[in-house]
Amino acid sequence: MAAANKPSAAPGDASSTAAVPSGRIGRLARMGGLATGLASGMVAEGLRRWSQGDRPSARELLLTPANARRVADQLAQLRGAAMKVGQLLSMDAGELLPPELSDILARLRSDAKPMPLGQMDEVLTAAWGAGWDQRFAQFGFTPIAAASIGQVHRARMQDGRDLAIKVQYPGIARSIDSDVDNVALLLRMSGLLPRGLDVAPLLAEAKRQLHEEADYRREAECLERFAALLQGDDAFVLPRTESALCGPTVLAMDYLASEPLESLAHADAAQRDAAATQLLRLLFRELFEFGWVQTDPNFANYRVQPGTGRIVLLDFGATRRYGPAVAGGYQRLLRAARDDDRAGVAQAAEAIGYFGTAIVPAQREAVVDLFLTACEPLRTPGAYDFGASDLAARIRDAGMALSMERDFWHTPPADAIFLHRKLGGLYLLAARLKARVPVQALVSPWLDGPAPAAQGG
């Protein structure tokens, strides 16, 4: 790297960065160390409890806050697929996990420590060649964001254009399948997952999605697709890609000055309501019009431009194709839920794949009740007040009660899991903003219209 751009040392102190194990042996050693740490934690906790006269079970010894922290901390060090599995399990199967593990895994949705400067230089040299920094008038070596797959840096081109450059952690793409399998095996053998819960479909889908997320060229294509689909929609703004700098491990795009959407929590009611309304409107367009849904509900993916109030959309790695059959199934399901048609909800849910073959009538009715609860905003004329509602808690409690019935556990289709993940995230965001949203008015044109047609690729 040229001296003009190269810092004298890695940014921050040693504790501010963490090298990402890139080789199979290094990553496997992390998993082995985690297993050993869990066992040691069980022994220490057992001795402490027994000295006090308790006789805890092995499960109680395993599910201590300290052991749960060990799981979360090691997954965060591995990043990549290992960290992503923790994120998916905490979000998509959270109602089925022990509270101790679910609470700690939720930490994995936060930013990870960035990789050291040397590793980042290796990735960029492999992508752009030696002397890559000569392309830039300025390159910020301290990342402005770091997460499970990569970290983001700000740079300025020689022509003055400001870019945000996402750099993938080394070895992530190669480690996906083995990391997913290793984490699942560890969680299963340790007892941290319920024995009756079949997570195989979820894990298979996690591998597929992670391979897609690790291909930054695909993410660039999805970003460009959404920019075209949303052309003329003044509510949103998307960064342009810099195609000459994009590749499998690097994504370069405009840096757009913006603030976290959550900062609107202190804005006036009209701004808060408008932001939540636009995002829910966008979701219905994605599902019923575009046939493509950005399924990651991370709040960090939504920002707002000061002054204009336009919503900046980021991170299209988790974009998923939804064909007319799936969209049509949800059209029927949501229409029946809006109209309080229990039989219609049950029929649509069965067609989508929500019911296992062994489900009993009482459980079937409980699932219908859960859908009707989740669709409460659709049945509310006028604006639904997310800030004054305990909807999220009621959905969680109903799902937890259902999951306690061991013979019920059934993994819905992946399309359903990721769509619910997105809708649930938008519900939480609307609640965080204390927004009032006319959900029924937003979705009814799609529900009362013709069935969704086949979309273009």
Closest by alpha carbon to 80, among 112, 110, 107? 112
Residue 202, pLDDT above cutoff 60: yes
**AA identity, residue 137:** A
| Predicted confidence band of residue 93 (pLDDT cuts 50, 70, 90) | very low
| Predicted confidence band of residue 94 (pLDDT cuts 50, 70, 90) | very low
The whole-number average pLDDT for the span 69-93 is 56
Please tell me which residue, 147 or 68, carries the higher pLDDT value: 147
| Predicted confidence band of residue 358 (pLDDT cuts 50, 70, 90) | low
Taking the domains of the chain in order of start, what are their residue ranges? 14-109+176-198, 260-457
34-48, 123-137, 335-349, 404-418: segment of lowest average pLDDT: 34-48
CA atoms within 13 A on the CB side of 67: 28
| Predicted confidence band of residue 81 (pLDDT cuts 50, 70, 90) | low
| Predicted confidence band of residue 59 (pLDDT cuts 50, 70, 90) | very low
Task: For residue 250, give every residue at least 6 positions away whose Cβ sits within 8 Å of its Cβ, in sequence order, or none.
Answer: 123, 124, 127, 128, 165, 166, 167, 168, 216
The whole-number average pLDDT for the span 40-60 is 48
Residue 394, pLDDT above cutoff 70: yes
| Predicted confidence band of residue 86 (pLDDT cuts 50, 70, 90) | low
Most confident of 19-23, 39-43, 69-73, 170-174: 170-174
Residues annotated as catalytic are 296
Please tell me which residue, 418 or 191, carries the higher pLDDT value: 418
| Predicted confidence band of residue 364 (pLDDT cuts 50, 70, 90) | confident
32-36, 79-83, 252-256, 400-404: segment of lowest average pLDDT: 32-36
126-130, 210-214, 247-251, 363-367: segment of lowest average pLDDT: 363-367
Cα gap 289→291, rounded to integer Å: 6
| Predicted confidence band of residue 418 (pLDDT cuts 50, 70, 90) | confident
| Predicted confidence band of residue 19 (pLDDT cuts 50, 70, 90) | low
Q: H or E stretch including 237? A: strand 236-237
How do residues 419-444 score in pLDDT, each as one tens digit?
Answer: 988 998 899 899 999 999 999 999 99
pLDDT value, residue 330: 96
Residue 72, pLDDT above cutoff 90: no
Residue 98, pLDDT above cutoff 70: no
Cα gap 168→215, rounded to integer Å: 9
Closest by alpha carbon to 281, among 230, 318, 323, 329? 230
Residue 164: strand pairing partners: 154, 253
Count helices and strands (H / E) in the chain: 16, 13
pLDDT value, residue 192: 56
114-118, 133-137, 243-247: segment of lowest average pLDDT: 114-118
Cα gap 360→364, rounded to integer Å: 6
Residue 13, pLDDT above cutoff 90: no
> What is the DSSP track for 318-343?
TEEE--HHHHHHHHHHHHHHHTT-HH
Whether the model clears a pTM of 0.75, i.e. scores above it, the answer is yes
**AA identity, residue 318:** A
| Predicted confidence band of residue 49 (pLDDT cuts 50, 70, 90) | very low
Residue 151: strand pairing partners: 146, 167
| Predicted confidence band of residue 408 (pLDDT cuts 50, 70, 90) | low
pLDDT value, residue 446: 95
Average pLDDT, the chain: 79
Please tell me which residue, 429 or 184, carries the higher pLDDT value: 429
Report strand pairing: 302-304 vs 311-313.
Answer: antiparallel
CB 252 within 8 A of CB 163: yes
How do residues 140-170 score in pLDDT, each as one tens digit?
Answer: 999 998 777 889 999 999 999 999 999 998 8
